[in-house]
Every structure is written in structure tokens, then in C-alpha cells.
């Protein structure tokens, strides 16, 4: 078993007297056990000045976590299969929809990795698809989400 810690901090500023009316900043920080601090805020559904588009929002973080986990799992399974990666870039996109109760949720994350291989062994299209399947099966985040995660490899 492993444990993963994130410390989430928010504090109302002195000038925000209308908290009960929803007029307060959603800006906060995420601190991780390795020492990294990330500025965070609500998604774009909360207008400025109450949210900051320059910060990471939870939905973006979920998409990034799914993409990062898939990439790390992919690198592992590719290396085990004898394929050398030179680069990996993904422009992952998460979409939200309403569920059967009318509640918004991230229902789909589409990963579109562009991978450059080096060395003498380059995977065929079928091998590449199989590597993505193995990576998806091994990804801790994919195994933790009920959202559909789709890989559309280039």
C-alpha cells in the first residue's frame, strides 16, 4: 500500500464580506509532500473575479492525472516490450455532461498521445494498440475512475 498526500488550503480575504451570496474567491493552493505548490481555482463555470483562469482547476487536474498515469504506464510496458521512446506528448481533453440525476461530471477523457520511438525496434499499429491497452489496464488512475478514458493514438 502507498499513501499520497495533498494539502489543500483556502482562506477568505478580509474584503470578501458576501461569502453567503457566493461572492468569494475560489483561488486556493495545492501543496504536495515533495514540496510543490500549485495555484488552483474553480473551473470556468465560476466567473472572474471569483475564479482565476490562470490557475489549475480540479477538472483539468483530473484530465492531467489520467494522461500522466497513462503515459507513465505506457513507458513501462513499452520498455518491457523492447520499444524505446524518444518523446511522448498528449493533448488530453475531458468533457463534462449531466448524469441521470442531472449532476455534472467528467464523463469522458480522450487521450491523443503522439509518440516518437527510437532504436531498432518500432511497434506496428497492432503492437501500438496493444501497448496502449496494457497501459490502460495498468494505470492506477484509470482503474480508479468511472469516467470513460479513450485513447486515440496518432
Q: Do 1 and 77 sit in the same domain of this protein?
A: no
From the list 75, 91, 84, the residue with the least C-alpha distance to 135 is: 75
Task: Answer for the pair 73, 139: CB distance below 8 angstroms, yes or no.
Answer: yes
Residue range of the domain that includes 100: 58-151
Q: Do 67 and 50 sit in the same domain of this protein?
A: no
Q: Do 30 and 89 sit in the same domain of this protein?
A: no
What confidence tens digit (pLDDT) does each residue in 99-111 have? Answer: 999 999 999 999 9
| Block residue for cell numbers 469522458 | 108
pTM: 0.92
Return d(Cα 49, Cα 37) in angstroms, integer: 22
Q: Do 45 and 115 sit in the same domain of this protein?
A: no
Return d(Cα 65, Cα 77) in angstroms, integer: 18
Q: Report the mean per-residue pLDDT for the chain.
A: 95
User: Is residue 128 very low, low, confident or very high in pLDDT (cuts 50, 70, 90)?
Assistant: very high
Tally of CA atoms within 13 A in the half-sphere of 9 that contains its CB: 9
Amino acid at each position: 500500500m502507498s499513501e499520497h498526500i495533498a494539502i489543500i488550503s483556502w482562506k477568505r480575504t478580509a474584503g470578501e464580506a458576501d461569502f453567503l451570496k457566493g461572492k468569494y474567491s475560489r483561488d486556493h493552493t495545492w501543496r504536495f509532500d515533495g514540496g510543490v505548490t500549485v495555484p488552483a481555482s474553480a473551473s470556468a463555470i465560476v466567473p472572474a473575479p471569483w475564479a482565476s483562469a490562470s490557475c489549475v482547476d480540479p477538472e483539468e487536474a483530473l484530465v492531467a492525472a489520467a494522461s500522466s498515469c497513462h503515459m507513465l504506464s505506457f513507458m513501462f510496458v513499452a520498455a518491457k516490450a523492447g520499444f524505446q521512446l524518444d518523446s511522448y506528448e498528449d493533448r488530453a481533453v475531458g468533457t463534462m455532461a449531466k448524469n441521470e440525476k442531472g449532476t455534472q461530471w467528467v464523463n469522458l477523457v480522450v487521450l491523443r498521445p503522439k509518440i516518437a520511438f527510437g532504436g531498432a525496434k518500432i511497434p506496428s499499429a497492432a503492437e501500438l494498440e496493444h501497448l496502449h491497452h496494457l497501459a490502460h489496464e495498468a494505470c492506477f488512475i484509470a482503474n480508479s475512475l468511472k469516467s470513460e478514458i479513450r485513447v486515440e493514438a496518432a
